[in-house]
Amino acid sequence: MKQNIQLIFTGGTISMQIDPKTGTAVPTLPPQDLLKLVPGLDRRANLQIHDFGMYPGPHITSKLMLDLWEVVQGYIKDPTIDGIVITHGTDTLEETAYFIDLMSRSPKPIVFTGSMRTSSEIGWDGLPNLIDSVAVACHEHARDLGVLVCLNGEINPASEVVKTHTDQMGTFQSPNFGMLGIVDKDNVYIYRKPEFLEYIGSSRVEPNVDLLKTYTGMDGFLIDCLVDRGVKGLVIEAMGRGNVPVPVYESILKAIEKGVTVVVVSRAGKGRVLDTYGYPGGGAMLRKAGVIFGGHLNGPKARIKLMVALGKTSDPKQLKEIFEHGRYIGTGENSGR
């Protein structure tokens, strides 16, 4: 029996074509026209279409993420829907997918996909990505895995996946843990479970959260400016294991004193932050000052998590618990799903 799959189109390169006058990619394809370019997509499932919009990835905002969640939530509650596929611009796909992951407790497969090339270009990857994503959304082993991302025949968890290359097809990877599974000629193979399967859930988000990346010789000017502007949360992409220059450290101390929640992650592509170093600005000193450690998350993901967490609570102990003592699939603890 065919599964009932809800397709939600939000835009991105998959909905774009090359403008012959400018030679640039622009949104042009509504869902109905896009699906005409993907023959046989409905052979595996009964498909329903929801036209959310035609947003390029950089145009996505926290408000649009919340609006999308309301749409997704409606289909999650619909007993006739077996799975959901969402098309999205790849520039911010990992952020929106992670946002939905933190908000959802549904066992139903929710799969994000997109494309790196427009339908005007040779080798348009939108066709196989859509076909593969519908196959994943139909598969029984894709249930209870949280939100998934499927492009280039590879399946990754929203909690782990990052965009690693500006243009290559295989850009979406899970650098710390490896892919979750693959799609091979319509066959779906799941090799492992996600390392992190967390649920926060909130009726609102705190949009006033900023992200800064540290660099050699950085001072605290930008942090001070954000604090003066009234920032509620701040994510710092620190160096290495989670260390910052002394002036940055001093400004972080002042930010915390004024009630700003500060989360530290690493600017490195792999690994976790930890309180290894005890010099001024080192991880141990940051932890002692009240900085929250973001584990394996990169800056954009940590910002999404902090926005959702601050939407639910402003209590420092609860925020620390959310970031540093989340529930892990590998331990057998209750994931909340």
Residues noted as catalytic: 13
H runs (alpha helix) in the chain: 31-36, 62-77, 93-103, 126-138, 221-229, 246-257, 283-289, 299-312, 316-324
CA distances from 252 to 127, 137, 236, 246, 280 (A): 47, 43, 9, 10, 12
Orientation angle between helical segments 246-257 and 221-229, nearest 10 degrees: 20
Question: Tokens for 133?
Answer: 């994503």
Q: How far is CA 159 from the centre of its chain?
A: 6
CA distance 206 to 99: 12
Q: Measuring CA to CA, which residue among 289, 302, 323, 314 is closest to residue 210?
A: 302
